[in-house]
Amino acid sequence: MNKNIEIYDTTLRDGTQAENFNLSLEDKIRIALKLDELGLDYIEGGWPGSNPKDQQFFSEIKNYRFSNSRIAAFGSTHMARNKAEDDPNLKALVASGAPAVTIFGKSWDIHVRDALRISLERNLEIIEDSLKYLKPRVECLFYDAEHFFDGFKADRDYAVTTLKKARDAGAECLILCDTNGGTMPTEIVEIIKQVQRELGQDARLGIHCHNDSEMAVANSVLAVTAGVSQVQGTMNGFGERCGNANLCSIIPALVLKMGFECRAGKNLKKLTSTARYVYEIANLAPNKYQPYVGASAFAHKGGIHVSAVQRNPETYEHIRPELVGNVQRILVSDLAGKSNILAKARQFGLDLDSNDPLVMEIVSRLKELEAQGFQFEGAEASFELLMRRASGTQRRYFELLGFRVFDQKMKEDEPPQAEATVMVRVGGRIEHTAAVGNGPVNALDNAIRKALETFYPQLRDMSLVDYKVRVLPETPGTGAKVRVLIESKDEKDKWGTVGVSHDIIEASWQALVDGICYKLLKSEGKSQE
């Protein structure tokens, strides 16, 4: 069995077919360069015959040097009414100048008859002619057998014949595609073995799976054990419908658990940062529950779990998070015990002993606050401030003397106007300011910053990233408590803070103030995050 596996990324083409996943030309170039750093073997840049943006990508990408990856262009076999040499799609593939070209053809007889509306024989001619045309004109040539597994189950002989035509016409690797994502892992292995018997063990095979049955990763890794040498997929599993096979799970599974080798396996510590970079460029919130690279992948909440992983991480971690560039996180909640608090204290640089009465005081205070509706799992900055206040190590940066918020609507067809005034005392000096904003919370945020930036200019590079309000179920209706979660950032970090009150403005104030205090704490160099 070949232990060296090629990783073929199609995030920039197949991935962009996902709902709400959109990339500009500049975005695609930035992601391609990042994927090269990770060490992926092939990066599919797009379909140059389908749209101008992909044509521009292949033109622009020639200006960049790649250390590990080869750029691939994607397209289809020629149209039935054309000759291969006259087909615009094939010409665009050659004109792209991409070092690798992948074309797909039909393997399933139902697609040949109903989608293309041609004879089975004509489809075989199209596959052969397309690949023969491309072979002398490109450096590296792959063939995607679209819907192969469904086609094999419908008409085994015909599906295999399409592969033979592609191989004989010059395809260097035959990629078997589970395009509808409905094939089960046991079927994948058995069908691949049958294909190998038909084509011979020297035939190079690849796998391209979709995730409609939640089997794309399993099907991909099992295909490798069955003998395929190329795995196609996308970062974070982006793709049409339910997505493609997730390379962020496939690569570490192959390398760390199954003993296979690939170029990206040497750079696994970059996996988490690369995965999150793709989310960031696409302007999407990362999936915190994603295996290997998610923020919760190595997060521990229950006190018994925390106590165990502090002694030996293997008790509740299937790999060390550092291997994939992730980190272990200890969460705090009403399930927390002394182990959680001590672990967080070490993270924050606080010297607490397990026998210190302060530890149980913090545990008690934490459970009391969570009973009131506070939640610190997404607001660790607020929890660090709570611990520092309890230990007497937290400086008081300012004192609130009062605030007032006005929100008035003057005309039916115009938005309300919000204004806030704030009075604070800083070092014996009273500052009284006012500001307007897009809504009362934004006005309040602007006013408090205006009051404090004279004393703390470092607040100028801090901004609010996200603002969430949740109505707590304790009291129904408009008199219910609300929990406000705010995410803030500066040039280096992001942090979350929380506030709870029957008054949404008061809850927002609590979270805003914690965000500011945490920024000032960071600026003093006391935070360990």
Q: Could you report the per-residue pLDDT of 46-75, keeping only the tens digit for each?
A: 999 888 999 999 999 999 999 999 999 999
Q: How high is the pLDDT of residue 527?
A: 42
- Residue 380 located in a structural domain: no
121 and 261 fall within a common domain: yes
89 and 220 fall within a common domain: yes
Q: Of 377, 354, 348, which Cα lies nearest the Cα of 307?
A: 354
- Residue 90 located in a structural domain: yes
> Per-residue DSSP letters for 30-85?
HHHHHHHHHT-SEEEEE-TTT-HHHHHHHHHGGGS--SS-EEEEEEEPPPTTS-GG
Q: What is the CATH number of the domain that holds 512?
A: 3.30.160.270
172 and 275 fall within a common domain: yes
- Residue 325 located in a structural domain: yes
114 and 240 fall within a common domain: yes
58 and 189 fall within a common domain: yes
Q: What is the CATH number of the domain that holds 61?
A: 3.20.20.70
Q: How high is the pLDDT of residue 315?
A: 85
Q: How high is the pLDDT of residue 528?
A: 42
Nearest-5° Cα angle at 250, 227 to 156: 40
Based on its alpha-carbon atoms, the radius of gyration of the chain, rounded to whole angstroms, reads 29
Q: How high is the pLDDT of residue 306?
A: 66
pLDDT in tens, 76-132: 999 999 999 999 999 999 999 999 999 999 999 999 999 899 999 999 999 999 999
Domain tally for the chain?
3
Phi and psi, residue 482, nearest 5°: -125, 150
Which DSSP helix (H) or strand (E) runs through 496?
strand 494-501
Answer for the pair 99, 70: CB distance below 8 angstroms, yes or no.
yes
Q: Of 452, 459, 446, which Cα lies nearest the Cα of 430?
A: 452
122 and 73 fall within a common domain: yes
98 and 36 fall within a common domain: yes
- Residue 1 located in a structural domain: no
48 and 108 fall within a common domain: yes
Domain-terminating residue out of 372, 391, 423: 372
- Residue 394 located in a structural domain: no
Answer for the pair 218, 249: CB distance below 8 angstroms, yes or no.
no
Q: How high is the pLDDT of residue 529?
A: 41
353 and 421 fall within a common domain: no
Q: How high is the pLDDT of residue 253?
A: 98
What is the domain extent for residue 310?
299-372
- Residues 208 and 223: their CA atoms lie apart, in Å, by 10
149 and 223 fall within a common domain: yes
Domain-terminating residue out of 281, 316, 346: 281
Would the pTM count as exceeding 0.85? no
pLDDT in tens, 202-214: 899 999 999 999 9
329 and 427 fall within a common domain: no
486 and 405 fall within a common domain: yes
Q: How high is the pLDDT of residue 377?
A: 65
Burial of 428 (0-12, 13-18, 19+ CB in 10 A): exposed
- Residue 133 located in a structural domain: yes
- Residue 154 located in a structural domain: yes
- Residue 308 located in a structural domain: yes
Q: Cα 131 vs. chain centroid, distance in angstroms?
A: 35
Domain-terminating residue out of 236, 252, 281: 281
- Residues 142 and 87: their CA atoms lie apart, in Å, by 18
Residue segments in the chain with a per-residue pLDDT below the cut of 50: 334, 526-529
| Ramachandran area for residue 232 (φ above 0: left; ψ -120 to 50: alpha; else beta) | beta
